[in-house]
């Protein structure tokens, strides 16, 4: 799932997308699946997993960040991600404008298959 999402970000925004911000170039993005939660049950057993995701976008200019976030959110919805929310601010530690997008996607089986 992470690779599919990273590719969506790279092709939509034409920026690098990493799993860790440590070696990131700017502008850039990170992706983290922070929770895989069984939610759909059949016969008392989990049948589907909901993957909860955080996407961080970092840009040197506020307008670039805003354009990128506005461009990415509809692409996420079209790819089946649910209820994306975003928070935008100036990250004083990174010294970059940041958008944090939280979303989720239903997919995969309890045993980890996608």
Rounded to two decimals, the pTM is: 0.85
- Looking at the domain assignment, is residue 94 inside a domain? yes
- Looking at the domain assignment, is residue 9 inside a domain? yes
- Looking at the domain assignment, is residue 112 inside a domain? no
The total number of residues written for the chain in this structure: 114
Supply the pLDDT for residue 102.
Answer: 97
Supply the pLDDT for residue 23.
Answer: 65
- Looking at the domain assignment, is residue 26 inside a domain? yes
Q: What is the percent of the chain with per-residue pLDDT over 90, rounded to a whole number?
A: 61
Tokens of 43: 């016969």
Q: Give the integer Cα–Cα distance in Å for 111 and 24.
A: 32
Q: Residue 52's domain is classified under what CATH number? A: 3.30.2000.10
pLDDT band of 9, cuts 50, 70, 90: very high
Single out the residue of 46, 64, 58 nearest to residue 90, CA to CA: 58
Q: Give the integer Cα–Cα distance in Å for 79 and 88.
A: 22
- pLDDT above 90: residue 110: no
pLDDT tens for 40-84 read 666 777 778 889 999 999 999 999 999 999 999 999 999 999 999
- Looking at the domain assignment, is residue 71 inside a domain? yes
Supply the pLDDT for residue 70.
Answer: 97
- Looking at the domain assignment, is residue 114 inside a domain? no
- Name the 3-class secondary structure at 72: helix
- Looking at the domain assignment, is residue 73 inside a domain? yes
What is the extent of the structural domain holding 97? Answer: 2-106
CB atoms within 10 A of CB 23: 8
- Looking at the domain assignment, is residue 111 inside a domain? no
Single out the residue of 77, 62, 88, 63 nearest to residue 12, CA to CA: 77
pLDDT band of 112, cuts 50, 70, 90: very low
Average pLDDT of 18-34? 81
Total domains present in the chain: 1
């Amino acid at each position: 799932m992470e690779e599919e999402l990273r590719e969506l970000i790279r092709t939509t925004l034409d920026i690098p997308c990493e799993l860790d911000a440590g070696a990131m170039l700017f502008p850039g993005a990170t992706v983290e699946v922070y929770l895989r939660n069984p939610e759909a049950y059949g016969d008392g057993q989990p049948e589907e997993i909901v993957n909860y995701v955080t996407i961080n976008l970092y840009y040197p200019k506020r307008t670039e960040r805003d354009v990128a976030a506005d461009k990415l959110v509809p692409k996420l919805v079209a790819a089946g991600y649910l209820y994306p929310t975003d928070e935008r601010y100036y990250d004083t530690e990174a010294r970059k404008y940041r958008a944090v997008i939280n979303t989720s996607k239903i997919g995969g089986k309890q045993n980890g298959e996608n």
